[in-house]
Structure 1
Amino acid sequence: GVFDKERFIDLLAHFQAYEVKEGAAKAKKLAGYHQFHAVRKAVQHTIRAANHDGDRKAGVIWHTQGSGKSFTMALYASRLERAPELGNPTVVVVTDRNDLDDQLFDTFQEHPDLFVSKPEPAEDRADLREKLKRVSGGIVFTTMQRFALLDDEKEYPQLTDRRNVIVIADEAHRTQYGFGSKVSVNKDGAKLASGGYAQHLRNALPFATFIGFTGTPVETKDRNTRAVFGDEIDTYDLAQAVADNATVPIYYTARLPQLRFDDELKAVLDETVDDLLVEQDVPDQENTKSRWSRLEAVAGAPERLQRVATDIVEHFEARREAMGGGKAMVVAMSRRVCVALHDAIGKLRPEWVSGDDKQGLIKVVMTGSAGDPEEFRPHIRKKSQLEELARQFKKPETTFSLAIVRDMWLTGFDAPCLHTLYVDKPMRGHGLMQAIARVNRVFGEKPGGLVVDYLGIGAELKAALAAYSQGDRQRAGIDQDAAVRELLRALEAIVDLLN
């Protein structure tokens, strides 16, 4: 039990921290039992793996989304710093996207009393190399992409031969942690391209120990993850999280807009939907890009978007009234569709729209580039503006309540007041599970999160849940109509009893 003397002292001394935001302590956090035990086990596995006769594979921790995985990682890094067996190690925290890197770094920064040394972000490739050449200590944040080769390099240089370097990989199942390199061929000859980031990382830190953290289960057939990181250290699944009130259940309902497609458009949909289900990004093969564009043109047809916009407005207004407020997110399949959907909703509810980021109920959240068309310009923001927009969305009292995104905010984004996710983009697997987990955070009396499906992802949701336990499958993607039927049966039983 928790009051075992050794365990209780360890909990009080090493597993609590103040959360500091805007220069003030906002809360004091104490690790949950799953975090406490996972970190203790992970530290022991790491010490074993980092020994001179160790295999440098500490293992994988699977803690479901919304259960405090980022805080668990912070606690783990803190314990590594203080482990005498590791001799003041350097901890390298690796993600594969800038927004995830920022979000995870913010979590570490918000708990400063946990760490001996101040966590540092690597600003670019050169800065990363300098930081990893240090003699000892430090917590360094980087993306995999910063392990790219410089223009004149054929292979990545070794930066240190130390064994007390620990690499923490967030979302360890992803293909970006693979070792396959790509070769680009042009008139000047062949050159190793940017595909082998994981190999570059191994070349830079050949004696480092690796540990993976993931919010979705490592599938039995996924040999790569186990080959790189080792076996599972600890598991905290969906069913456990809901039972502990660490997360809320997720409900699912399909509201597919009925459109009259001609035979050619039907053929496009039939041909492409199965092939173009993606984890996060548009596939990069040229022929698949073309087919994706055709599907995007059909899904983004003005008549269809008008119906989707009308349904979202009606559903969201009713949902907010039933939930006593709260927020929602719309996931669209392209930036063009995001903007078009925003405009369609704006015509129905002009009072929701404002050019001022501090006003208005609805915003498009997306990245931009110099070549973007003029209609994109009002929705393109600098990094600091996007960060402020994220802060506004996370606060339940602010006006901004409906975000339209393509791929931003779908992983690692924690907004407990978010209760509804409208999905109008093909997704599957880990990416789908990470996206729907945006609505599973505990908040006040929130009974559950709701996923509203406009594109028919029900089969993909079932397939994604296949790697989960039976209890998990009963806790995620619960059919809303089935839940209503169960409620009516219980109500009839109560009425019969009272009569």
Structure 2
Amino acid sequence: MRTSNLLLFENNEAFHQMLTDGIDVKFSIGDGKTRTDKVWLVDFGAPENNEFLAVNQLTIVENHVNKRPDIVLFVNGLPLVVLEIKNAPNEKADIRAAFNQLQTYKQVIPSLFTYNAFMIVTDGWFAKAGTLSSDYSRFMEWKTADGINIVDTETTPEMEPMLQGLLNKKTLLDVIRHFIVYERAKEQTIKKIAAYHQYYAVNKAIESTIRASAVPAFNSFAEPPAKYGKQDVTEQFPGDKRAGVVWHTQGSGKSLSMVFYAGKLVLAPEMNNPTVVILTDRNDLDQQLYETFTACSQLLRQTPVQAGTRDDLKNLLSVASGGVVFTTIQKFMPEEQGGKYPQLSNRSNVVVIADEAHRSQYDFIDGFAKHMRDALPNASFIGFTGTPIEKEDKNTKSVFGNYIDVYDIQQAVKDGATVRIYYESRLAKIELSEADQEILDARVEEVTEDDELTDKQKRFAKWTSKEAVLGSEKRLKQVALDLIMHFETRIESAEGKGMIVSMSRRTCVELHKQIILLRPDWYDSADDKGVIKVIMTGSASDPLDWQEHIRNKPRRKAIGDRLKDPSDPLKLVIVRDMWLTGFDAPVLHTLYIDKPMNGHNLMQAIARVNRVFGDKPGGLVVDYIGIAQDLKKALAIYTEANGKGKLTFDQSEAVDKMLDLYEIVVQLFGTFDYRKYFALQPREKLNFILEASNYILGLKDEDGVTGKKRFNYHVGRLSQAFGLVGTTEEAKEIRNDLAFFQAIKARFSKFDENKKKKSNEEIETAIRQIINDAIISNEVIDVFDAAGINKPSIEILNDDFLEQIKGMPRKNLALELLKRLLNDELKMRSATNLVQSRKFSEMLADAVKRYQSGLIEAAQVMDELLQLAKDIREADKRGEKLNLRQDELAFYDALADNPTAETILGDDTLKAIAHELVDSVRRNTSIDWQLKESVQAKLRVLVKRILRKYKYPPDDPATGEYNVSVNKVLSQAELLADFWTNQA
């Protein structure tokens, strides 16, 4: 089976569609007639009808590269899952290394991944699953085998629930068909797989929907199907039209869960091709959710449609079956006040999905629920919400029913689905009179732009007086100055973006003015330029100075795309109501609140900064108005609904954690007084960093972990903690020390033979925090100068150079440097001489392993590595003695590696073979030889013909040694062919 596109990801998407939708095949039925039917590669309805096979160490050859993935899972001969397993006791063989290995496989054996559904990385204890396009941070654990009991992965290996839950046959096929989506974004398509909480919640929701629609029990998904731990919804009766509420905390993928739910629901045979209505309470939310569903239309097996008007909605819902329709709840309002909304459909297979289903959003008391029921009397209603239903809210439950599934903040943070949110008050930075402070302290309900004047007259006076205080020129100047200083400090220690919530459109505009007065270079009138923008609606009748900030929907979306792009210079947006719900920008890490907020609106707003993004350690909410009491009240609502975990953590907790980590790093230096560093001159500082590095390298191993690894680990954690609290006084006090620690960490990276495996995010964070002219010179310093030795000009392993290394006073640093130089030298040689590079690489690895195991001392391993360097140099001179060029010597070494060849055939014969091989292979190697199978086959024939001519190897062709020797020469030929074409 072949797919048409040459690109791996597009091939993978095309195959996935064939796998999950079947393949249309046309065939003859006689008399010149044809018929089309579907062929299914997998029987999803009956897992026992399929053949499952797990293959260990399967050798895959592609483009002359041999790779052996640890385990490949086949279903009916299709390699759908790849597992890469590392050895837990090996400190370098962690799951990050397994992830890196998979990235290499994707490059060198891409054909295997054309058929890949998902990948798993594990070291036997930790285990994560992700897709072809997932970066490391999006590989996630699978923490339950049944959707009820969440495994404590601190005491139980993560691989256990992964095997029992995700990789049991029924769940595996269910996930592949219904829980993998290709989401199309502006720049790229992203392949996503459901997290465990999404998978089990959606299946519970499907079961409950079928119950609510009064259809037979649903039993065709993951094992064990008997019970999914549904909560209160199990107490409801069949046919009650209330499917329930899914409460998954904001940022944990609620919108995607809704997509998975709709995608599986439309295929459920019990629902008989249902019509799905997605309901929101605001136009901007409707658009955001609609865009998400449209981007995932392949999973829905249809294109969603948006109802633009009431008439449009009526037409869309008058169909006989099918359809995914988006609308706002306002379109269910009767045209005449007090009137009854006309019936649109009496079908029982209509399902209404309400986003953020709770009373404050849908105003059930005022009758919207009644109008929906009048329009769709037999429809079932299900709610998805990121915030809990309030205890006293009986109306929401009367429409939707009880909870189907709960995924709270505590579990989301523990799983890494979201990050913690920290709270910082900046009230003390803003001066106010007592009278103004009293006005601000008065509790007042929020007035939103969507409210009609008649609805807000009772609270308008209080709101207006508070807005006048918040929007005074004097106060906004203070806020602007403090906010700028805070944000600039923030992005120095933790790269990201910010959102400012202001009380009114007027205060948005005025705050923007004050900010650009202080930072004029942040301003640009063009939508695609500038560091700061205001996002708000308006009309031509608004004041003239507001007009540049009033944009239509496409322009606002374009700015939203800029904000989501980490590389775009747009860093700050000022909003009133927009983008506080439903807007997903993981790069956001700071929310500045200068507006009264409470309840669900506050919970939704602060969640803008809880998304996972790279090495982002957490989000920060900065309070300029005094929302501490409102946060406590919101937490009370949350805990009354049995939610676990805190909405926010006080920044002081993060400060305490940072100081604890700081003490750990300080203790690693023991008797070494690193603080002397700060009194030195720049050139002396560099030398001192090397002294400190040498000290850390000399620390004894603890539980098999080197001092360098412990130091790097703790400095990395300290850097993350510092990124959360970089604006505090405590952080400023240790800033210089941290920069010094990071200078050592950065120095280690220069000597690390595995430096390319470091995460870009970690390196970028270190670089950002290390730049401080008062601490470290910003001059570029060569690594050899830093080590105190002369930089070699041509021959890196000459005697003088090796003597300089041997004479270095810092023995630990000298050892690190020599390891790196030897490793680099052998990597370079591996491009031309297969046997020699393997031999020396094994010698290097063996010496380092014995040293790390404590079998030999530093002085002995240093002597061994110096001798190895001399052996490498002497190996080059062998060519001169044998009268062979380097390419001929490479073939000679491959030929002579056979135990009996030199004895039986003689040295002259081996040299003759080597000379003829170089001449023949070089003449027949074209630039595109790797792309043409005919050229590759010709080269292999030429090599084998020459070997037969000289009766090489002299072993019996039936023995394994014969084949090993021939394949070694073939591999050497391919290696040189690559080298020659790259040099051309």
Normalising by the residue count of structure 1, what TM-score does the alignment of the two structures yield?
A: 0.92
Q: Is the 8 A contact 1:245 1:442 kept in 2?
A: yes
Give the distance between the partners of 2:368 and 2:265, measured in 1 at CA: 25
Cα distance change of structure 1 residues 28 and 263 upon mapping to structure 2, 3 Å threshold: closer
- 3-state DSSP class of the match of 2:427? coil
The equivalent of 1:248 in structure 2 is 419
The equivalent of 1:372 in structure 2 is 542
- The reply to whether residue 40 of structure 1 matches residue 203 of structure 2 is yes
Q: Is the 8 A contact 2:430 2:479 kept in 1?
A: no
Q: Is the 8 A contact 1:167 1:211 kept in 2?
A: yes
Q: How big is the shift at 1:384? A: 1.1
Among 400, 419, 430, which residue is 1:229 paired with? Answer: 400
| Partner deviation per Cα, 1:339-360 (whole Å, 9 max, x = no partner) | 0000000000000001011111
| Partner deviation per Cα, 1:24-62 (whole Å, 9 max, x = no partner) | 752111111111111111000000100175100000000
Q: Which AA in structure 2 matches 1:170?
A: D
The equivalent of 2:783 in structure 1 is none
- 3-state DSSP class of the match of 1:468? helix
- The reply to whether residue 340 of structure 1 matches residue 510 of structure 2 is yes
> Which structure has the larger Rg over C-alpha atoms?
2
The equivalent of 1:459 in structure 2 is 629
Q: Which AA in structure 1 matches 2:521?
A: E
The equivalent of 2:213 in structure 1 is 50
Q: Which AA in structure 2 matches 1:73?
A: M
| Partner deviation per Cα, 1:114-139 (whole Å, 9 max, x = no partner) | 01221110011110011111111100
- The reply to whether residue 199 of structure 1 matches residue 370 of structure 2 is yes
Among 529, 544, 557, which residue is 1:359 paired with? Answer: 529
Give the distance between the partners of 1:308 and 1:430, measured in 2 at CA: 26
Among 464, 468, 485, which residue is 1:314 paired with? Answer: 485
Q: Which AA in structure 2 matches 1:485?
A: D
Q: Which AA in structure 2 matches 1:123?
A: G
Among 3, 8, 18, which residue is 2:182 paired with? Answer: 18
- 3-state DSSP class of the match of 2:391? coil
- The reply to whether residue 214 of structure 1 matches residue 385 of structure 2 is yes
Give the distance between the partners of 1:280 and 1:434, measured in 2 at CA: 17
Among 162, 169, 182, which residue is 1:5 paired with? Answer: 169
- The reply to whether residue 389 of structure 1 matches residue 553 of structure 2 is no
Q: How big is the shift at 1:20? A: 1.4
The equivalent of 2:284 in structure 1 is 99
Q: Is the 8 A contact 1:253 1:453 kept in 2?
A: yes
Cα distance change of structure 1 residues 124 and 83 upon mapping to structure 2, 3 Å threshold: same
| Partner deviation per Cα, 1:337-388 (whole Å, 9 max, x = no partner) | 0000000000000000010111110000000023211111110111111111
Give the distance between the partners of 1:442 and 1:129, measured in 2 at CA: 40
Q: Is the 8 A contact 2:444 2:596 kept in 1?
A: no
Cα distance change of structure 1 residues 308 and 46 upon mapping to structure 2, 3 Å threshold: same
The equivalent of 1:166 in structure 2 is 351
Cα distance change of structure 1 residues 473 and 371 upon mapping to structure 2, 3 Å threshold: farther
Q: Is the 8 A contact 2:277 2:350 kept in 1?
A: yes
Task: Mark the runs of 5 or more structure 1 residues left unpaired by the alignment.
Answer: 182-195
Q: Which has the higher strand share?
A: 1
- The reply to whether residue 421 of structure 1 matches residue 421 of structure 2 is no
Q: Which AA in structure 1 matches 2:525?
A: G
Q: Which has the higher helix share?
A: 2
Among 283, 295, 314, which residue is 1:110 paired with? Answer: 295
- The reply to whether residue 155 of structure 1 matches residue 340 of structure 2 is yes
Give the distance between the partners of 2:450 and 2:662, measured in 1 at CA: 45
Q: How big is the shift at 1:305? A: 0.4
Normalising by the residue count of structure 2, what TM-score does the alignment of the two structures yield?
A: 0.47
Among 53, 77, 82, which residue is 2:262 paired with? Answer: 77
Q: How big is the shift at 1:485? A: 2.5
State the Cα RMSD in Å. 2.1
The equivalent of 1:297 in structure 2 is 468
The equivalent of 2:456 in structure 1 is 285
The equivalent of 2:776 in structure 1 is none
| Partner deviation per Cα, 1:216-248 (whole Å, 9 max, x = no partner) | 122333222211111111111111111111111
Q: Which AA in structure 1 matches 2:503?
A: M
| Partner deviation per Cα, 1:176-209 (whole Å, 9 max, x = no partner) | 434333xxxxxxxxxxxxxx32221111001100
Q: How big is the shift at 1:392? A: 1.0
Q: How big is the shift at 1:480? A: 0.9
Among 58, 65, 69, which residue is 2:250 paired with? Answer: 65
Deviates more, 1:241-250 or 1:90-99: 241-250
Q: How big is the shift at 1:253? A: 0.2
Q: How big is the shift at 1:406? A: 0.2
Q: Percent identity?
A: 52
Q: Is the 8 A contact 1:35 1:72 kept in 2?
A: yes
Q: How big is the shift at 1:495? A: 4.4
- 3-state DSSP class of the match of 1:19? strand
Deviates more, 1:46-55 or 1:123-132: 46-55
Give the distance between the partners of 2:168 and 2:564, measured in 1 at CA: 38
- 3-state DSSP class of the match of 1:407? coil
The equivalent of 2:606 in structure 1 is 436
- The reply to whether residue 29 of structure 1 matches residue 177 of structure 2 is no
| Partner deviation per Cα, 1:409-431 (whole Å, 9 max, x = no partner) | 00000001111000000001111
Q: Is the 8 A contact 2:359 2:393 kept in 1?
A: no
| Partner deviation per Cα, 1:443-469 (whole Å, 9 max, x = no partner) | 111100000000010111122112335
Task: Mark the runs of 5 or more structure 2 residues left unpaired by the alignment.
Answer: 1-164, 216-237, 671-984
Deviates more, 1:127-136 or 1:367-376: 367-376
The equivalent of 2:944 in structure 1 is none
- 3-state DSSP class of the match of 1:162? coil
Cα distance change of structure 1 residues 498 and 257 upon mapping to structure 2, 3 Å threshold: closer
Among 444, 461, 464, which residue is 1:275 paired with? Answer: 444
Cα distance change of structure 1 residues 487 and 137 upon mapping to structure 2, 3 Å threshold: same
Deviates more, 1:402-411 or 1:387-396: 387-396
Give the distance between the partners of 2:527 and 2:624, measured in 1 at CA: 28
Q: How big is the shift at 1:262? A: 4.5
Q: Which AA in structure 1 matches 2:469?
A: V
Deviates more, 1:24-33 or 1:407-416: 24-33
Give the distance between the partners of 1:57 and 1:418, measured in 2 at CA: 36
Cα distance change of structure 1 residues 28 and 342 upon mapping to structure 2, 3 Å threshold: same
Give the distance between the partners of 2:502 and 2:390, measured in 1 at CA: 28
Cα distance change of structure 1 residues 434 and 280 upon mapping to structure 2, 3 Å threshold: farther
Q: How big is the shift at 1:319? A: 0.8
| Partner deviation per Cα, 1:310-331 (whole Å, 9 max, x = no partner) | 01110111111111x3210000
